[in-house]
Every structure is written in structure tokens, then in C-alpha cells.
Structure 1
Amino acid sequence: MFKKHEIYKTDKYNMLTVEVQGKTLVVREISDQWGEDSHTFVSRPEMMNWAEKRFRPSDFAGREEELAAIMDALRKV
């Protein structure tokens, strides 16, 4: 059984989850714009490196709390 963490979910078409599969982390990003995108990481630092590139502060201008919540949730996985 894999442990699944919900990072955010705005509706059934926009969400980000992380599944912990042993030592592997599978990030599933579902978006109404791009469909489902899956990323597999072998370590938490690798996942956080991806997250820092994917969720840039410039994309969250005026929504800094939302960015902080996403990054916090990813760190807790």
C-alpha cells in the first residue's frame, strides 16, 4: 500500500498529489490546462529541487501564501 499525500486540490481537475512508493516519490499533477503530468523522484531533495523550479515566486505574485502552503506541504511528505 502506497502512502498518498494531497498537496493541493482546488477541484477534481486541478490538484497535486505525492505517492510514497518505498524510496520512490511519484508526483502527479493534474491540471485542466495540461491534463495529468507525472514525475518520479528517488529522493526528497530531488523532488524539492523540481518543486522550486516548478513553483516560482514570480508565478505567485500576490499569492505568496498559496506558494508557501504548497512548498510546506511538499516538505512534510
Structure 2
Amino acid sequence: MFKKHEIYKTDKYNMLTVEVQGKTLIVREISDQWGEDSHTFVSRPEMMNWAEKRFRPDDFVGREEELDGIMTALKNV
């Protein structure tokens, strides 16, 4: 049994979820541009390190609230 967290979902082709399986965190990123990408982390700090590189402030100029929401949701996993 694992717990699934929805970080964001804009539609059925663009979403980010995190599954918690014991100490393992599996991040699934589904995008209409790149398809599905899956990342496995053994700790929350490792996941947050990836997230800080993946979701850069430069990519969210004018959408800072969206970035804050994503990072907050990830921190709350």
C-alpha cells in the first residue's frame, strides 16, 4: 500500500504526482510534450534537490505563484 500525492494537474496530459512507498518516493511527471517521466528518490532532500533543478524560477517568470504552489506541495509530501 502506498500513498499518492497530486502535486499539480492541469489536464489528463499534464500532471505531477508523488507516490510514497515506504522510504522511497516515486515522482511521475506526465507532459503532453515529453510523455511520462518517472524518477525514484530514496529521501525527501534528494527529491527536493531534483525539484529545485527541474522547476527553476527563470522558467516561471510571471507565474511565481504557480512555482511556489508546486514547491510547497512537494515539501508537504
Query: What TM-score comes out, normalization by structure 2 length?
Result: 1.00
Distance 1:22 1:35 in 2: 26
Map Cα deviations across residues 9-32 of structure 1 (whole Å, 9 max, x no partner): 000000000000000000000000
Instruction: List 4+ stretches of structure 1 deviating above 2 A.
Output: none
Aligned residues: 77
Residue 64 (structure 1) aligned with residue 34 (structure 2)? no
SS at match of 2:52: helix
Q: Please, what TM-score do these two structures have when normalized by structure 1?
A: 1.00
Aligned to 2:53: 53
Question: Pairwise CA RMSD of aligned residues?
Answer: 0.2
Show structure 1 runs of 5+ residues with no match. Answer: none
Structure 2 spans left out of the alignment, 5+ residues? none
2: distance between equivalents of 1:8 and 1:2? Answer: 19
